């Protein structure tokens, strides 16, 4: 009985090691601009401003970390930590009511914009071949956002913590062992808003354990609800390391 149990345990371990894999994606780069970042708080009574046009953005480095687990050859579970904060400086051409506080036109103002993201994703690889890998899944996202306006005399902020369901997708084409072309992201839209976080780029597999990637990432979307109106488009120049354990 003990021998049989040991044989079964050894078989399970061998199957697990053959069809399971830990993955780590460490990404970083530069936030090199925002096409728009429209804010109105409160949604009714606040002043609409486009931070990307009305103010200037400070260059900002970013990073994000994804830890994943592949099992059964096609099932993927991952956790993502993606902090983001940018700072705008300048002055508004009009008086701005933000969070029921008036910021006078022409006075220097600083805006700190935070949009941190925590995500749990499950993806199933529909196509898993030598050259193609295509998968679809679901992402549960926790959004931790905060917008802070301040000048010499006033300082106020509006924070928001919420849950957002997203559709996850992944597509990669491998013209050779070393090279891959990748398109991946999370996205979904509803009458209350939308969210897209999409990466397009290339990856180079150095060996069976380590790879590198380089590309462009865009985060776009926002919400139009009772308390807040905010839609943004943020551009990233992105590079990363890919580990398989």
Instruction: Note the pLDDT of residue 58.
Output: 81
pLDDT bin (cut points 50, 70, 90) of residue 29 is very high
Q: How many residues are present in the chain?
A: 245
Q: Taking the CA of residue 112 as centre, how many other CA atoms within 13 Å lie in the half-sphere pointing to its CB? A: 13
- Considering the chain, what is the average pLDDT of its residues? 91
Structure tokens that stand for 238 in this block: 């992105």
Instruction: Note the pLDDT of residue 15.
Output: 42
pLDDT reading at 10 higher than 50: no
pLDDT reading at 11 higher than 60: no
pTM: 0.88
* Contact yes or no for 77/69 (Cβ under 8 A): yes
Structural domains in the chain? 20-244 (2.40.128.90)
Mean pLDDT of 171-199: 96
Instruction: Note the pLDDT of residue 56.
Output: 94
Residue 181 CB coordination number (10 Å): 14
Instruction: Note the pLDDT of residue 8.
Output: 37
Instruction: Note the pLDDT of residue 219.
Output: 95
Instruction: Note the pLDDT of residue 34.
Output: 85
Instruction: Note the pLDDT of residue 87.
Output: 94
* Contact yes or no for 125/104 (Cβ under 8 A): no
19-23, 51-55, 58-62 — which one is most confidently predicted on average? 51-55
Q: Which is more confident, 19 or 180?
A: 180
Instruction: Note the pLDDT of residue 188.
Output: 97
Query: Residue 52: left if φ>0, alpha if ψ -120 to 50, beta else—which one?
Result: alpha
Instruction: Note the pLDDT of residue 19.
Output: 58
Mean pLDDT of 213-223: 96
Instruction: Note the pLDDT of residue 14.
Output: 44
pLDDT tens digits along 122-160: 999 999 999 999 999 999 999 999 999 999 999 999 999
Structure tokens that stand for 146 in this block: 């905060």
pLDDT tens digits along 82-122: 999 999 999 999 999 999 999 999 999 999 999 999 999 99
């Amino acid at each position: 009985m003990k021998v049989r149990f040991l044989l079964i345990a050894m078989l399970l371990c061998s199957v697990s090691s053959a069809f399971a894999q830990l993955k780590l994606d460490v990404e970083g780069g530069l936030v090199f601009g925002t096409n728009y970042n429209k804010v109105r708080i409160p949604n009714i009574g606040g002043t609409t401003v486009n931070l990307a046009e009305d103010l200037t953005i400070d260059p900002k480095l970013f990073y994000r970390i994804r830890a994943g687990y592949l099992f059964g050859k096609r099932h993927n579970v991952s956790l993502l930590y993606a902090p983001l904060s940018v700072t705008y400086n300048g002055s508004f051409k009009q008086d701005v009511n933000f969070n029921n506080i008036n910021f006078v036109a022409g006075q220097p103002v600083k805006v700190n914009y935070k949009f941190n993201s925590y995500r749990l994703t499950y993806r199933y690889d529909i196509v898993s071949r030598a050259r193609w890998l295509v998968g679809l899944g679901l992402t549960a996202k926790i959004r931790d956002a905060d917008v802070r306006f301040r000048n010499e005399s006033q300082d106020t902020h509006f924070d928001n913590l919420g849950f957002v369901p997203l559709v996850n997708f992944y597509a990669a084409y491998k013209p050779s062992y070393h090279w891959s072309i990748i398109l991946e992201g999370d996205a979904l839209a509803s009458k209350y808003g939308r969210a897209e976080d999409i990466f397009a780029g290339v990856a180079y597999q150095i060996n069976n354990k380590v790879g590198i990637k380089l590309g462009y990432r865009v985060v776009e979307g926002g919400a139009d609800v009772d308390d807040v109106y905010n839609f943004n488009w943020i551009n990233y120049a992105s590079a990363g390391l890919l580990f398989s354990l």
